[in-house]
Amino acid sequence: MLTIEHISKDLGEFILDDVSLTVEDGEYFVIIGPTGAGKTILLETIAGVYPPDSGTVVLDGRDVTFVPPRERNITMVYQDYMLFPHLTVAENIGFGLKNRKLPAEEISTKVAEVADIFGIGHLLHRYPDTLSGGEQQRAAISRAIVLEPSILLLDEPLSALDGQTRDRLRIELRRLHAKYKTTIIHITHNFEEVFSLASRVAVMHQGKMMQVGTPDEVFRHPNSEFIAEFVGVQNIFRGTCKTTEGLSEISVEGAENTHIICSSLCTGNTNVTATIRPEDIMVSCTKLESTARNSFAGTITDVADNGSMVRISVDTGLPFIAAVTRQGWQSLEAEIGDTVYLTIMAQSVHIF
Amino acid sequence: MKSDLRRNWVKILSIAVGLVLAGFIIALLLLVVTHPSPSAVVDSLMTKEIQFAIYLSLATSIISTLLCILIAVPAAYALARYNFWGKSFVSTILDMPLALPPLVAGVGLLLLFGTTPFGDFLESIGIVFVFTPLGIIIAQFFVNMPFMLRIMRSTFTDISPRYEYVACTLGCTNLQAIWRVTIPMAAHGFLAGAVITWAKGIGEFGAALMIAGATRMKTETLPISLYLNMSCGELEMAISAAIILMVISVVSLYVFEYFGGSAKF
């Protein structure tokens, strides 16, 4: 188990500001955040590349705050591989084993074993710069995992790869985690990686840990406006919560009228922020007869087609953004200026 | 004159300037090589004096280059990797000998070793720099150290420190990470720096003249030999020394460029 308490570090350009975090054994922990959020320096502090200005790092009950990297058994993979260019793939993968003074035969057996798992067994005699990006990253991950580290740190391991390679390697990472049960801390800014890999996710911003939870918790129930915006919730409304006759409603001041949005989560008379994910909004040409509490009529003001999904901006007096599939959009047969109905389930309205 | 898109006068003129300059340099080199007869050059090369000059030049320049490597590599590493108080000041000062006329550097060295208690102390334990080959070595070291330093600094700067971070997580100490990863990756810059430092060392004249003097068969390196023989009208001897220096320069420049030196300087 890794416990980080109140870690701060100022590197000028990047900072960590009072970060606390616990990562359980065997967890696949993903850290997500915009560029410059301090994600990499958090990983480097965990690895022991430099000492924190304050705070402690405890690994399996041992305070390792000022212990050099080589005595931590934490390995690290960077986005741009960082394979040693003057060594062959085999020498790269065996680098750590050689440092541990293992006999040569044992090194080559272990290297061959891990290389086969990653499908790079035939590349062992080659030099890194003759390999494709995907092959280089496989070699880099092999080099880190062959030491059977207590924690494997991955710093945007898939970001430099092309789409197809990225998808394949992502699946391999999941397989690897299932096989080795290594604790993994993985940095990314890709949401797909969060959903397909993370057992828990943390969101970082300006050197601070903003929210930690399961992907569902963080994406469905963002605890701040920054997270809501960052994770792609685009419908963010501020209003007052009222509970009347067992119903929870939020009144939001719109341009012309006041919207009453029902939410199953709202309690008490407080000022709240309500968020609704674009894909949780149903769009129809006629008013839907359903059990959903919220239904609003509005005019389509904009349509953005991003390939798989179509984002529709609808003005109901409040600016809503709904996301529908391409097929859904075509069957709607609507265009800009048309009136549509938005239907939202009460439990899809999240508040903080 | 009517302007015509096909006639780019800036291009034509600037290329012409470059060509004239190259022709000028080639003419000078050819003049030096072709002035004496080949047999006269061979005869000069066979003399004790020129052979001594070759030997002394090689010995002093190799030792001073090793010294430059020993001092400049760690200093360059520090400047490339760490931030410390006064870093930019230190960096500028370390480049100072580049801009300083070698004669001035030589005067400074002469004063340091000839007139201070520090110099007296060294002399008392038998280390004498003034008017000795040791003086030549220290002059070459002082004047040429910035070459090694600058090239190694930009070489280290170009190598991401993350290679060392990874090496450390794989079980290396800081020093092992540098030795097993950074230094091998810096090999090209290292060779380029060493070659140019050595070539500059072999040609060092001004500073060496000041501290070591120009004594025949004692502190007579190739450039000193060129100067001494020229002064007493021994043109053949002088030009033989010049030819050797020229060949060394041409070959060194080629090696320097081969290892990408000019991009790092």
Measured between alpha carbons, how far is A272 from A113 in angstroms, rounded to an integer?
55
Integer CA distances (angstroms), B162 to A51, A57, B134, B151, in order? 16, 21, 41, 20
Distance from CA of A95 to the nearest CA of B (A): 7
Under an 8 A CB cutoff, do A48 and B163 touch? no
Q: pLDDT tens across A5-58, in order?
A: 999 999 888 889 999 999 999 999 999 988 888 899 999 999 999 899 999 999
In the prediction, which pLDDT does A235 show? 80
- Residue contacts between A and B (CB atoms, under 8 Å): 59
Distance from CA of B178 to the nearest CA of A (A): 12
Q: In the predicted model, what is the mean pLDDT of residues B249-259?
A: 88
With a pLDDT cut of 70, the percent of chain B lying above it is 99
| Residue appearing with tokens 């110099």 | B119
Distance from CA of A214 to the nearest CA of B (A): 29
Residue A82: which of B166, B171, B173 has the nearest Cβ?
B166
Pick the more confident residue, B230 or B5.
B230
Tell me which chain A residue has its CA closest to the CA of residue B185.
A86
Residue B248 has pLDDT above 70, yes or no: yes
In the prediction, which pLDDT does A325 show? 86
In the prediction, which pLDDT does B113 show? 92
Q: pLDDT tens across B83-107, in order?
A: 999 999 999 999 888 889 999 999 9
Q: In the predicted model, what is the mean pLDDT of residues A90-104?
A: 94
Distance from CA of A91 to the nearest CA of B (A): 12
Helix (H, G, I), strand (E, B) or coil at A334: coil
In the prediction, which pLDDT does A327 show? 85
Residue A306 pLDDT level (bands cut at 50, 70, 90): confident
Q: Show residues of chain A in contact with B170, CB under 8 Å.
A: 70, 75, 95-96, 99, 143-144, 147
Residue A62 has pLDDT above 80, yes or no: yes
Q: In whole numbers, what is the pLDDT of chain B averaged over residues?
A: 91
In the prediction, which pLDDT does A152 show? 95
Q: In the predicted model, what is the mean pLDDT of residues A189-204?
A: 86
The residues facing A315 across adjacent strands are A299, A319
In the prediction, which pLDDT does B61 show? 95
Measured between alpha carbons, how far is A143 from A76 in angstroms, rounded to an integer?
9
Q: pLDDT tens across B51-83, in order?
A: 999 999 999 999 999 999 999 999 999 999 999
Q: In the predicted model, what is the mean pLDDT of residues B114-128?
A: 90
Under an 8 A CB cutoff, do B168 and A68 touch? yes
Q: Which amino acid is present at A284?
A: S
Identify the sign of the CA torsion A115, A120, A126, A130: negative
Residue B171: which of A78, A82, A99 has the nearest Cβ?
A99
Q: pLDDT tens across B129-161, in order?
A: 999 999 999 999 999 999 999 999 999 999 999
In the prediction, which pLDDT does A228 show? 81
Pick the more confident residue, B22 or A165.
B22
Measured between alpha carbons, how far is B68 from B89 in angstroms, rounded to an integer?
20
Residue A193 has pLDDT above 90, yes or no: no
Q: Are A236 and A225 in contact (CB under 8 A)?
A: yes
Helices (H), chain A: 39-47, 89-93, 95-99, 104-117, 133-145, 163-180, 191-197, 215-220, 225-230, 326-332
Tell me which chain B residue has its CA closest to the CA of residue A43.
B165
In the prediction, which pLDDT does A255 show? 62
Pick the more confident residue, B260 or B113.
B113
Residue A318 has pLDDT above 90, yes or no: no
Q: In whole numbers, what is the pLDDT of chain A averaged over residues?
A: 87
Picking from B84, B162, B169 by the largest number of A CB atoms within 10 A of its own CB, the best residue to mutate is: B169
Distance from CA of A100 to the nearest CA of B (A): 7
Question: Looking at the complex, does the CB of residue A85 fall below 8 Å from at least one CB of chain B?
Answer: yes
Residue A122 has pLDDT above 90, yes or no: yes
In the prediction, which pLDDT does A246 show? 66
In the prediction, which pLDDT does A75 show? 95
Under an 8 A CB cutoff, do A70 and B168 touch? yes
Pick the more confident residue, B264 or B178.
B178
Helix (H, G, I), strand (E, B) or coil at A308: coil
Under an 8 A CB cutoff, do A70 and B185 touch? no
Helix (H, G, I), strand (E, B) or coil at A211: strand
ipTM above 0.85, yes or no: no
Q: pLDDT tens across A228-284, in order?
A: 888 776 787 888 887 776 677 787 776 666 777 777 767 777 777 788 888 888 888
Q: In the predicted model, what is the mean pLDDT of residues A76-105?
A: 94
